[in-house]
Structures are given as C-alpha cells and as structure tokens.
Amino acid sequence: MGFERSRGGYRISTDPALLDIDVIHGFLRDSYWSPGIPRSIVARAIEHSLNFGLYEERRQVGFARVCTDRSTFAYLMDVFVLPEHRGRGLSVWLMETVMQHPDLQNMRIFRLATRDAHGLYEKVGFTRIANPDVMMEINRPNVYREMERST
C-alpha cells in the first residue's frame, strides 16, 4: 500500500514504480557518503528498503531511503534534494513525511549518519547518540572505488 503526500506542486510517494533509479544513482555516485556507487547496488538497496521519492510532477527531484524491520529499528540514509529545488523547505517536508509513515512509528531505535545536516534532522527529533561508546561499526568508505579497481 502506497503512502503519499502532496504540497505546492510537489509530491512524496513510497510507490516503488515511480522511482527514477538513474536520478537517484546520478546523485548518490557523486555524494560524499557513497562515491562511485554502482547503479546495480543502488537498485538492490532500493529493492530492500522503504523508499520515499520526491517529485515535481513526474520528475524525481529528491529521495530518502529507510532500512527497517518496520517494528523496532530503522536507519535513514541517502537523503537528498536536487540543488535546483533546494531552498523551498522540501528537505524538511521530506523528513517530516518520512517520520509520519505508519511503519516507522514507535521505533525503539531510529538512526542516521550525517556530516553536514544535523540541523535538518534535529527539526524532526533526531539527537546525537546518547552513548556512542556502545556503538561499533565496520566502515569502508572507499568500498565502491575498490570494487571498481578490482574488476
């Protein structure tokens, strides 16, 4: 069942049939968090996530992806609005819409990582990790570049 919101000529939808993988891949492969990501990996990640497309008419202009079990844990990632659509409050609206999705209510843990958008996420309730000493990770920021070199 789709989840949709409209405002001022823009629409946010979770309908996977509307997603423009080329637009999403084009942005993500040049982003600081997934440089060089192959299109096939973007497509597979989308296939296994709860996705929010932001559209002006039929053209995709933004995106957010949530990895979740839809019960206890959610991880927000790949949030963007194309540069020519920024400054219109769309990022905040996209995040408010993500946070309103019925399957993302009452999460025990809802996380994200950001280098430069703390203010945006604070507007919808995110805070810095209360106890970072308990967190662990495997962090491979150059994994896509390494894959590219090995093929």
The mean-pLDDT minimum among 67-71, 100-104, 105-109, 135-139 falls in 135-139
Mean pLDDT of the chain, nearest integer = 94
Provide the token pair at 148. Answer: 């590219």
Q: Please give the domain boundaries of the chain with CATH numbers for all domains.
A: 4-150 (3.40.630.30)
Above pLDDT 90, what percent of the chain? Answer: 87
Residue 78 — φ and ψ, nearest 5°? 55, 40
Inter-residue contact 94 to 64 (CB < 8 Å):
yes
pLDDT at 46 (0 to 100): 98
What is the spatial order of strands in the sheet that 10-13 belongs to? 4-7, 10-13, 50-56, 59-68, 73-81, 109-112
Rounded CA separation 53/60 (Å): 7
Least confident of 35-39, 117-121, 139-143: 139-143
Can you give the length of the chain in residues?
Answer: 151
What six digits make up the tokens of 79? Answer: 């949030």
3 φ/ψ angles, rounded to the nearest 5 degrees:
-125, 125
State mean pLDDT over 40-61.
Answer: 97
This prediction's pTM: 0.93
Max mean pLDDT range (69-73, 130-134, 146-150): 69-73
